Amino acid sequence: MRTAYSVETVRTAERELMDRLPDGVLMQRAAAGLAAACADLLRRRGRVYGARVVLLVGSGDNGGDALYAGARLARRGAGVTAVLLAAGRAHEGGLAALSGAGGRVVEHPSDTSAPFDVLAAADLVVDGITGIGGRGGLRPDAVPLARAVHESDAVVVAVDLPSGVEADSGEVVGEALRADVTLTFGTYKPAHLIDPAREYAGAVGLVDIGLGAVLPPVAELEALQHADVARLLPVPTGESDKYRRGVVGVVAGSARYPGAAVLAVAGALHGGAGAVRYVGPAGDAVIARFPETLVHAGPPAKAGRVQAWVVGPGLGEEPGVRDALASDVPVLVDADGLRGLNAKVVRARKAPTLLTPHAGEAAALLEVPREEVESARLTAVRELAARYGATVLLKGSTTLVADPDTALPVRVNPTGTPWLATAGSGDVLSGLTGSLLAAGLGARDAGSVGAYLHGLAARSAARGAPVSAEDVGAALRVAWRDVSEEA
Ligand X SMILES: NC(=O)C1=CN([C@@H]2O[C@H](COP(=O)(O)OP(=O)(O)OC[C@H]3O[C@@H](n4cnc5c(N)ncnc54)[C@H](O)[C@@H]3O)[C@@H](O)[C@H]2O)[C@@H](O)CC1
Ligand Y SMILES: Nc1ncnc2c1ncn2[C@@H]1O[C@H](COP(=O)(O)OP(=O)(O)O)[C@@H](O)[C@H]1O
Q: Please state the residue numbers annotated as binding site for K(+).
A: 62, 127, 163
**Which residues ranging from 432 to 461 are in contact with ligand Y (CB under 6 A)?**
454
128 is an interface residue for ligand Y by CB under 6 A: no
Phi/psi at 448 (5° precision): -75, -35
Least CB distance to ligand Y at residue 403 (A): 18
Contact of 355 with 341, CB cutoff 8 Å: yes
Which residue's Cβ has the minimum distance to ligand X? Answer: 131
Which of 9/435 has CB closer to ligand Y?
A: 435
Which of 295/420 has CB closer to ligand Y?
A: 420
What gap in Å lies between CA 56 and CA 404, rounded to an integer?
42
Per the annotation, binding residues for AMP are: 395-399, 426
399 is an interface residue for ligand Y by CB under 6 A: yes
Stretch near ligand Y under the rule CB under 6 A, chosen from 123-131, 400-408, 426-434, 459-467: 426-434
Residue 420 binding result from K ion, ligand X, ligand Y, none, given CB thresholds of 5 to 8 Å by partner type = ligand Y
What gap in Å lies between CA 312 and CA 316, rounded to an integer?
8
CA distances (Å), origin 110, targets 7, 121, 138, 159: 33, 18, 18, 24
Residue 416 binding result from ligand X, K ion, ligand Y, none, given CB thresholds of 5 to 8 Å by partner type = ligand Y
Stretch near K ion under the rule CB under 5 A, chosen from 38-46, 135-143, 157-165, 361-369: 157-165
**Which residues ranging from 344 to 363 are in contact with ligand Y (CB under 6 A)?**
358
182 is an interface residue for K ion by CB under 5 A: no
Under DSSP, is residue 312 helix (H, G, I), strand (E, B) or coil?
coil
Beta-bridge partners for 83: 56, 106
Which of 4/303 has CB closer to K ion?
A: 4
Under DSSP, is residue 9 helix (H, G, I), strand (E, B) or coil?
helix
487 is an interface residue for ligand Y by CB under 6 A: no
311 is an interface residue for ligand Y by CB under 6 A: no
Which of 53/158 has CB closer to K ion?
A: 158
66 is an interface residue for K ion by CB under 5 A: no
Number of residues that bind K ion (CB under 5 A): 4
Under DSSP, is residue 169 helix (H, G, I), strand (E, B) or coil?
coil
Amino acid at 445: D
Q: Exactly one of 94, 196, 280, 416 binds ligand Y (CB under 6 A); which one? A: 416
Where do contacts with ligand X occur on this chain (CB under 6 A)? Answer: 14, 18, 26-27, 30, 58-63, 65, 129-139, 159-160, 185, 209
What gap in Å lies between CA 332 and CA 393, rounded to an integer?
10
335 is an interface residue for ligand Y by CB under 6 A: yes
What gap in Å lies between CA 300 and CA 32, rounded to an integer?
62
List b or e across 453-482, with b for residues whose CB sees 16 or more CB atoms inside 10 angstroms.
bbbbbbbbbbeeeebebbbbbbbbeebbeb
Q: Please name the helix (run of DSSP H) or strand (run of DSSP E) that holds residue 93, with its range, or none.
A: helix 92-100
Least CB distance to ligand X at residue 219 (A): 18
Specify burial of residue 435 (Cβ count, 10 A radius: 0-12, 13-18, 19+): buried
Q: Exactly one of 6, 9, 163, 293 binds K ion (CB under 5 A); which one? A: 163
What gap in Å lies between CA 48 and CA 40, rounded to an integer?
8
Per CB under 5 A, residues contacting K ion are 127, 158-159, 163
Per CB under 6 A, residues contacting ligand Y are 335, 358, 395-397, 399, 416-418, 420-421, 423-427, 429, 454
